[in-house]
């Protein structure tokens, strides 16, 4: 398949140390988040996808291109790494422009594209300042500018929101969403789970070098059978509803809200619950709203990996 | 290019390249001073002497003969030595030293009790001796140390320096083949070393010729192969940069610690004269020595094994030496291209 990023049975060992093991992924367009604690293999996987390291076993292709062919690969892939070092003695503009010159653009076109990319990351004013004087957030943004300057179809961004202020963060997220809307592949790694939850089309949960779950957050959540689904129900007669729900064999726990206008249901089968909704209406219970309470990355992450490294 | 020329960790290379220039500048200053002294001595003499006059003085002649032939010495030292305690008391021996000059060459005559014991003729210009000195500095300091370590500093850092700065991934993320990247870096290193060391060699030639009078300089340059030799030295310097550069480029990719490959290559180059004929060909110095225009004669009495270090008993012809060196460099560059394809970015292990 030439329209996906395919990771086939990939393992990477650094001597005795495991980087990632037996990873299989098929990444479609949209925003894909790699989520996992430190050392879970997110950066290793990104480095493998961009050919900076080679797999010990297995193979990777990015939209049909092998990762050991940088000449083709980086025509449509942009990678913003987590390495904080930047070339010395260059301005932000020169840094982005020099990279574009390597893609074969002439000086004028490179300057134009570099300025566009710098504008997109909000660094226009500092474009002609020496990188050595940039703050951490500015360095992060200039790396992002470099990664997206040649308008790549695939953007791989390692912790792209690190060090950014809230405004820049929301601008970046808007940009990722715009890129995903255009059919681009945006792969990000992050610890900031609520942001990942907000923007991701699919997630890849990683732990100790293994992929523990992948897919859309909802589908990952529904596959976790051993954990009950939590559903938040706002209604006019929560106590009657609670009594009805307790009669179901799938119901594990029901707790009524303090304001007496809703309840939290823990059930083994969310699907069965949704099928009984019609009966509720017939009994005169008016349901104001229904919302899954743990159908987010944070909950899935906690179920699968634990909560030690979660940043809320 | 800017990074290659002005890398902070490579600034010592400029010092290394300029050291022989400094040496020849000092040599020229010392020679000029000597010339001035000689001409002062010549002016103070009673007679206008020629080189032949100076050469006519031999040990065994009396001081009166010397004075008769060369005139009263413009510079004369004399001292007395008291020897032994015989029945007649101490014996007093009279010593004298005269200095004559024809304005360029100086004659030092040492006499004891009125008889010449020792004669030392110091030639102001000895182009053969000077070109041998130049060849010695070129072969033993410039090629084997300055260019060798200069190439080490520049070519080892082409990739190793980027790894230490954690900036190599920026190059690897560019849409260019890694072999092309390697070739680009090699050319940058080659330009830097050639500019630095060829300029140094040029300045050494200028400094070396500076103290010569225009007439002697013309003789040296146009009738004594001086100009041709200077051009050959420049070419050999550039070829040394190609050869050592390719060796150190591949070493910089294979080894984290530069000491091991440096010591290995240094020993390999030093052992070259003792290696079997086939292995000799995988050395840079083997070809460079064959290209050097002036042979350095082994000093008399030097053990044959050590003399091998100086002379090249079976040198290859210059065209073969150039081709051979380029082939060795090409093999090293091919090994580099294989290695660069395998390189991974893993700064944490560096």
A99 with B174: Cβ contact below 8 A: yes
Query: What average pLDDT does the segment B192-221 reach?
Result: 89
Query: pLDDT of B28-48, one tens digit each?
Result: 898 888 888 888 988 888 888
For tokens 């997206």, the residue is A148
Q: What percent of chain B lies above the pLDDT cut of 90?
A: 35
Query: pLDDT of B217-268, one tens digit each?
Result: 888 888 878 889 999 999 999 999 999 999 999 998 888 887 888 888 888 8
pLDDT value at position A310?
Answer: 46
Under the banding of pLDDT at 50, 70 and 90, the label for residue A222 is low
A102 with B169: Cβ contact below 8 A: no
B344 with A54: Cβ contact below 8 A: yes
Q: Is residue B40 part of a domain?
A: no
Contacting residues of A for B169, CB less than 8 Å apart: 52, 81, 83
Choose the mutation target among B6, B168, B175, B339 for the interface with A, i.e. most A CBs under 10 Å: B175
Query: What average pLDDT does the segment A272-277 reach?
Result: 75
Under the banding of pLDDT at 50, 70 and 90, the label for residue B310 is low
Could you tell me if B65 and B198 lie in one domain?
no
Could you tell me if B187 and B222 lie in one domain?
yes
Tell me the average pLDDT of chain B. Answer: 86
Counting Cβ atoms within 10 Å, is residue B26 exposed (0-12), middle (13-18) or buried (19+)? exposed
B176 with A47: Cβ contact below 8 A: no
Which of residues 102 through 161 in chain A touch B, CB cutoff 8 A? 102-104, 146
Could you tell me if B86 and B154 lie in one domain?
no
CA distance B233 to B288: 10
With 70 as the cut, is the pLDDT of residue A215 above it?
Answer: yes
ipTM (interface predicted TM)? 0.76
CA distance B188 to A234: 70
B173 with A79: Cβ contact below 8 A: yes
Residue of B nearest to A76 (CA): B175
Chain B interface, Cβ < 8 Å to A: 2-3, 165-167, 169-170, 172-178, 341-342, 344-347, 349
- Among B105, B122, B139, residue at a domain's last position: B122
Q: Is A55 on the interface with B (CB under 8 A)?
A: no
Q: Is A232 on the interface with B (CB under 8 A)?
A: no
Question: Closest approach of chain A CAs to the CA of B173, in angstroms?
Answer: 7
Domain that holds residue B143: 2-33+126-349
- Among B98, B122, B146, residue at a domain's last position: B122
Rg (alpha carbons) of chain B, rounded to whole number: 28
For residues A197 and A43, which has the higher predicted lDDT (pLDDT)?
A43
Could you tell me if B59 and B144 lie in one domain?
no
Q: Is A75 on the interface with B (CB under 8 A)?
A: yes
Could you tell me if B313 and B206 lie in one domain?
yes
pLDDT value at position A268?
Answer: 79
CB B123 within 8 A of CB B105: yes
Could you tell me if B89 and B160 lie in one domain?
no
With 50 as the cut, is the pLDDT of residue A63 above it?
Answer: yes
What is the three-class DSSP state of B276? Answer: coil
Tell me the average pLDDT of chain A. Answer: 85
Under the banding of pLDDT at 50, 70 and 90, the label for residue A35 is confident
Smallest CA-to-CA distance from B28 within B201, B166, B179, B211 is with B211
Could you tell me if B214 and B84 lie in one domain?
no
With 90 as the cut, is the pLDDT of residue B336 above it?
Answer: yes
What is the three-class DSSP state of B247? Answer: helix
Q: What percent of chain A lies above the pLDDT cut of 90?
A: 38
B175 with A102: Cβ contact below 8 A: yes
Q: Give the distance, in angstroms, between the CA of residue B43 and the centroid of all CA atoms in the same chain.
A: 35
Query: What average pLDDT does the segment B76-91 reach?
Result: 78
CATH number for the domain spanning B104: value is 3.30.1450.10
CA distance A53 to A11: 11
Question: Closest approach of chain B CAs to the CA of A85, in angstroms?
Answer: 6
With 90 as the cut, is the pLDDT of residue A40 above it?
Answer: no
Which range, of A75-79, A136-140, A303-307, B143-147, averages the lowest pLDDT?
Answer: A303-307
Count up the domains in chain B and report the number.
2
B345 with A104: Cβ contact below 8 A: no
Pick B175's closest partner by Cβ from A52, A71, A87. A71
Q: Is residue B26 part of a domain?
A: yes
Contacting residues of B for A50, CB less than 8 Å apart: 173
Pick A102's closest partner by Cβ from B166, B169, B174. B174
- Among B94, B122, B150, residue at a domain's last position: B122
Question: Closest approach of chain A CAs to the CA of B346, in angstroms?
Answer: 8
Angstrom distances, CA of residue A29 to CA of A6, A32, A146, A179, B245: 12, 8, 21, 10, 46
pLDDT value at position B312?
Answer: 60
């Amino acid at each position: 398949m030439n329209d996906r990023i395919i990771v086939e049975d990939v393992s990477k060992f650094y001597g005795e140390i495991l980087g990632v093991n037996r990873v299989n992924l098929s990444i479609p367009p949209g925003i894909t988040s790699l989520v996992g604690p430190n050392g879970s293999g997110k950066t290793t996987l990104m480095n493998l996808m961009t050919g900076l390291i080679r797999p010990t076993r297995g193979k990777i292709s990015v939209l049909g291109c092998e990762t050991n062919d940088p000449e083709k690969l980086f025509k449509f892939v942009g990678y913003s790494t987590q390495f904080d070092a930047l070339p010395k003695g260059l301005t932000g503009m020169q840094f982005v422009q020099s990279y574009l010159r390597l893609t074969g653009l002439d000086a004028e076109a490179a300057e134009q594209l570099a300025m566009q990319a710098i504008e997109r990351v909000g660094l226009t004013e500092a474009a002609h300042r020496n990188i050595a004087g940039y703050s951490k957030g500015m360095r992060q943004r200039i790396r992002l500018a470099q990664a997206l300057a040649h308008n790549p179809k695939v953007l791989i961004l390692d912790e792209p929101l690190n060090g950014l202020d809230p405004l820049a963060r929301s601008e970046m997220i808007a940009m990722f969403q715009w890129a995903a809307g255009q059919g681009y592949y945006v792969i990000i790694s992050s610890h900031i789970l609520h942001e990942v939850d907000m923007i991701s089309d699919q997630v890849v949960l990683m732990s100790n070098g293994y992929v523990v779950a992948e897919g859309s957050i909802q589908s990952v959540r529904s596959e976790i059978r051993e954990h009950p689904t939590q559903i938040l129900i706002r209604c006019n007669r929560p106590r009657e509803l609670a009594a009805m729900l307790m009669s179901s064999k799938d119901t594990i726990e029901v707790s009524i809200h303090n304001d007496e206008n809703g309840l939290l249901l823990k059930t083994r089968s969310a699907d069965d619950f949704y099928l009984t909704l019609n009966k509720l209406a017939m009994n005169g219970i008016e349901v104001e709203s229904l919302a899954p309470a743990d159908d987010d990355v944070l909950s899935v992450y906690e179920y699968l990996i634990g909560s030690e490294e979660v940043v809320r | 290019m800017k990074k290659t020329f002005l890398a902070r960790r490579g600034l010592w290379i400029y010092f290394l390249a300029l050291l022989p220039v400094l040496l020849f500048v000092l040599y020229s200053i010392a020679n000029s001073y000597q010339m001035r002294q000689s001409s002062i001595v010549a002016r103070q003499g009673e007679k206008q002497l020629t080189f032949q006059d100076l050469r006519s003085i031999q040990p065994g002649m009396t001081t009166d003969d010397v004075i008769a032939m060369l005139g009263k010495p413009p510079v004369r030292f004399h001292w007395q030595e008291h020897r032994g305690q015989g029945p007649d008391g101490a014996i007093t021996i009279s010593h004298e030293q005269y200095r004559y000059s024809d304005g360029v060459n100086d004659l030092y005559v040492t006499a004891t009790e009125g008889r010449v014991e020792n004669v030392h003729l110091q030639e102001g210009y000895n182009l053969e001796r000077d070109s041998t000195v130049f060849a010695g500095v070129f072969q033993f300091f410039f090629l084997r140390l300055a260019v060798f370590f200069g190439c080490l500093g520049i070519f080892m850092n082409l990739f190793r320096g980027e790894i230490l700065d954690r900036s190599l991934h920026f190059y690897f993320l560019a849409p260019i083949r890694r072999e092309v990247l390697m070739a680009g870096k090699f050319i940058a290193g080659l330009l830097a070393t050639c500019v630095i060391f060829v300029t140094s060699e040029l300045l050494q030639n200028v400094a070396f010729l500076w103290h010569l009078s225009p007439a002697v300089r013309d003789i040296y340059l146009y009738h004594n192969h001086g100009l041709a030799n200077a051009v050959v030295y420049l070419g050999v310097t550039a070829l040394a940069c190609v050869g050592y550069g390719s060796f150190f480029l591949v070493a910089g990719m294979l080894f984290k610690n530069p000491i091991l490959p440096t010591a290995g290559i240094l020993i390999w180059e030093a052992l070259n004269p003792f290696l079997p004929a086939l292995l000799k060909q995988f050395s840079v110095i083997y070809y460079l020595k064959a290209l050097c225009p002036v042979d350095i004669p082994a000093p008399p009495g030097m053990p044959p094994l050590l003399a091998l270090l100086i002379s090249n008993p079976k040198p290859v012809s210059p065209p073969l030496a150039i081709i051979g060196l380029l082939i060795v460099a090409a093999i090293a560059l091919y090994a580099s291209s294989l290695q660069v394809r395998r390189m991974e970015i893993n700064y944490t292990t560096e």
